Amino acid sequence: MITIHGTGCCLIDFLYPKTDFSAPAFREKLSLEDGDGGLAIGKLVFAENFEKFVKAPYENALKEIAGGTPSHNLGGPAVVPIVHAAQVLGSGVSARVCFYGVRGDDETGGLVEEALVRAGFTPPNLPERVPAGQGAAQTKPDGGVRPGQSAGTTASYTLTRCKGPTPRTDVLSDPSYNNGHGERTFINLIGAAGEFGPEDLGDGFFDADIVAFGGTALTPKIHDSLAELLGRAKQRGARTVVNLVYDYRSEQAAPGKKWKLGKNDNAYPRIDLLIADKDEALRTSGCSSTGDAARWFVKEGCGAAIITEGTKPLRLTAGAGLFKPLAETELPVSEAINRELAAHPEKRGDTTGCGDNFAGGVIAGLAEKMDRLPAGTTGGIDLREICIPGIIAGGYACFTLGGVFYENRPGEKRELLAPFIEVYKREVPFR
């Protein structure tokens, strides 16, 4: 049994899949300089700052630029990876997965809980969903599996209820942007996430094999306490994963300056694996290239670093510890998925959640490798191998609208991804 606990950004995405980034109404709302509150393609702005930038009510500005009637989906760089990991684990791996987050006291908060239940997660006082044939498991108040009961891959959630609106993001997507690869921009309302802090994470949160923090720049109190929280997890023997999100709060406070990870920029030695996209990596490291950034993260104490760049190859490197040492190297995205999208454009969804699903695939790959480590060993994992399920998960997200794929039956997503993983291993041999 391997246990994964995650926290950080969890919200509802309101998806506008037919936005035209070339339209005059959209172009006139683009940022003029970093941190001014204007829209930034591929990046996030806060709703309050955007409203000031356009000098108009937020709802009115959104109607001018958003294409079509929105759908909604569960989103966020913390919850989407955890949902994905829970869905794809289970082939020979027993896992217990729990997400810790926050909701407001409003209808959107109810949408968060409905989406989690639909994704196979249960509140801590209800039976967890167990894949067929793997037995029944019950949850304790902390979401754990009771001793003596059979446990397959089980998933639960705990949401702290705070005053204020539930976090939400309006996701504006243009599928024709970037030569048909698509791109999106985000307008975020932090809401109750601004009140979510370390005090909302009980001791049980740190009792896990893997503790994951995702998009903590959108949960400010968690982000500022990141070094201390990572330290508590490490003291309990957990392996730690951090996946970043664009830190608009830091950018607004000090445009163009290096972003801090943790209040005193001292979280790195307590991170086993750091995941970021190009912009997040460069701004957090202060480096000018992704290769330099990856090496900088490891030099600062991270066990390993992975940096994605959309449809371009990702960069990765690892030092000693949990992973085999790996000099800075590249891995391509999945050409099999690109071929499928080109051959069947009707299957295309949007790019929302690609990075989040990548992180979830990596977390799942790490869990499987850790579960199979010989007794008494603590390292030797090939970072490249755990990137493969991440690459496929990130690419496959282009087939759906929004970041979360809702299964019709347990194991469905794992089965859909498996052929692409096998093709990737054949086409990109590195052993």
pLDDT over 90 percentage in the chain: 67
Residue 121 main-chain phi, psi, to 5 deg: -95, 150
For residue 110, pLDDT beyond 90? yes
User: Is the model's pLDDT at 112 over the cut of 80?
Assistant: yes
Interatomic CA distance for residues 292 and 152, integer angstroms: 41
Helices and strands, counts by H and E, the chain: 14, 14
Q: Where along the chain do its domains lie?
A: 2-15+72-427
pLDDT for 190 equals 92
**Whether 212 contacts 82, CB under 8 Å:** yes
Q: Are 189 and 46 in contact (CB under 8 A)?
A: yes
d(CA 232, CA 211): 10
**Mind listing the pLDDT tens digit for each residue in 123-166?**
875 444 344 333 333 333 344 332 222 246 899 999 999 888 99
Mean predicted lDDT score pLDDT of the chain = 88
- What is the per-residue pLDDT for 151? 43
Output the pLDDT for position 344.
Answer: 87
Predicted confidence (pLDDT) at residue 248 exceeds the cutoff of 90:
no
Q: How far apart (Å, rounded) are the C-alpha atoms in residues 5 and 1?
A: 13
Question: Half-sphere exposure of 358 toward its Cβ, with a 13 Å CA cutoff?
Answer: 26
Q: Other CB atoms closer than 10 Å to residue 407's CB: what's the count?
A: 16
Q: Is the pLDDT of residue 82 over 70?
A: yes
Tokens describing residue 240: 């730690």
* Fold designation for 2-15+72-427: UDP-N-acetylmuramoyl-L-alanine:D-glutamate ligase (3.40.1190)
- Reply yes or no on whether the pLDDT at 336 is more than 80: yes
pLDDT computed for residue 354 by the predictor: 93
Is pLDDT at 71 greater than 50 in this prediction? yes
Helices 383-396 + 79-88 axis angle, to 10: 100
Higher-pLDDT residue of 278 and 147 is 278
204-218, 230-244, 390-404: segment of lowest average pLDDT? 390-404
Residues 30-50: tens digit of each pLDDT? 999 877 889 999 888 889 899
The per-residue pLDDT for 292 is 96
* Phi and psi torsions of 403, nearest 5°: -85, -20
Lowest average pLDDT, out of 132-146, 162-176, 221-235, 276-290, goes to 132-146
Confidence at residue 377, expressed as pLDDT on a 0 to 100 scale: 67
Scored b (16 or more CB within 10 A) or e, 106-140 reads eebbebbbebbeebbbbebeeebbbbeebeebbbe
Percent of the chain's residues with pLDDT above 70:
92
| φ, ψ at 317 (rounded to 5°) | -155, 155
Residue pair 162/100 in contact (Cβ under 8 Å)? The answer is no
Residue-wise DSSP of 91-138: SS--EEEEEEEEE-SSHHHHHHHHHHHHTT-B-TTSPPP--TTS----
The residue behind tokens 């001292």 is: 266
Distance CA 227, CA 25 (A): 42
Backbone angles phi, psi at 150, to 5 degrees: -65, 140
Residue 374 confidence (pLDDT) above 60: yes
Q: Please report the pLDDT score of residue 43 as a whole number.
A: 83
**Token code pair at residue 366:** 């790490």
pLDDT at position 125, please?
Answer: 55
d(CA 180, CA 187): 22
- Amino acid making up residue 378: T
The pLDDT of residue 177 is above 90 = no
For residue 107, pLDDT over 90 is answered with: yes
Q: Judge whether residue 217 has pLDDT over 50.
A: yes
Higher pLDDT, 148 or 22: 22
| pLDDT one-digit tens code per residue, 294-311 | 999 999 999 999 999 999
Q: 418 with 368: CB under 8 angstroms?
A: no
- Spatial contact of 60 and 50, defined as CB atoms under 8 Å apart: no
Give the pLDDT score at 137: 32
| Residue 91 banded pLDDT, cuts 50, 70, 90 | low
Question: How much is the pTM?
Answer: 0.87
Q: How confident is the model at residue 252 (pLDDT cuts 50, 70, 90)?
A: confident
Confidence of residue 347 (pLDDT cuts 50, 70, 90): confident
Q: How confident is the model at residue 372 (pLDDT cuts 50, 70, 90)?
A: confident
Question: Across residues 220-239, what is the average pLDDT?
Answer: 97
Instruction: Give pLDDT, residue 375.
Output: 62
The 8 Å CB, 24+ separation contacts for 285-290 are 285/258, 286/258, 290/315
**DSSP-derived secondary structure letter, 42:** T
Confidence of residue 186 (pLDDT cuts 50, 70, 90): confident
Q: What is the rounded CA–CA span in Å between residue 182 and residue 349?
A: 10
Confidence label for 276 from pLDDT (cuts 50, 70 and 90): very high
